[in-house]
A and B are shown apart, each in its own frame.
Chain A
């Protein structure tokens, strides 16, 4: 069994960092699969096969989004920069530079997420 997602000795990493690395690896894999399906769709002429690939690529979009949301929730500075770039019209590079500059005071180790909130969010499915 490989442990390629770790760049440092796993035994020296905290449980939180190992989980973070696993989700980073998962994010990469979903992104890679999205790219592969895109290539397959561009060359596949059979409509039935294309429909299946289109559906499968949708699954990968969902997985990618879930992985990303998990990682952003655990990384306030990343979340803050992403919030300054994603789903915005206009110049992507300008948004990116501004978001990065605005994030420099954000401490990823702080108890509260980047927006200063208590980070409560959804409680659906949680035990009391």
Chain B
């Protein structure tokens, strides 16, 4: 049976709260699949010989694959992909096949007037080295339904 997750409630979020982390094991097959799905077939992601000739240790994952993991961590927590309004990050290190990357995030501010929250993000590899830093996500929640009180 399919389970559809419930959306996060704005009222229950608090500053300082950690999001559930997300770990992904990256493979050559996944990098190939991402190249096909995104259209980005740059040989540094696909061709070992080319990647080495470009001065890399071998094929590397697309930075945007790492950002897609960070995106997923946030939207898994939100329970609604359409709430994510902003996402940014700096690709601080290379991700290679067989790396395990872990995304984590913390709510750094909550704005009741505009019903949005700001989340700081970081992605590290299995050695604890940052592969994405200066990560920021912003989610905006729809206006609260007006309370129905008996007159």
A and B assemble together: no
Tell me the A residues contacting B by CB distance below 8 Å: none
Tell me the B residues contacting A by CB distance below 8 Å: none
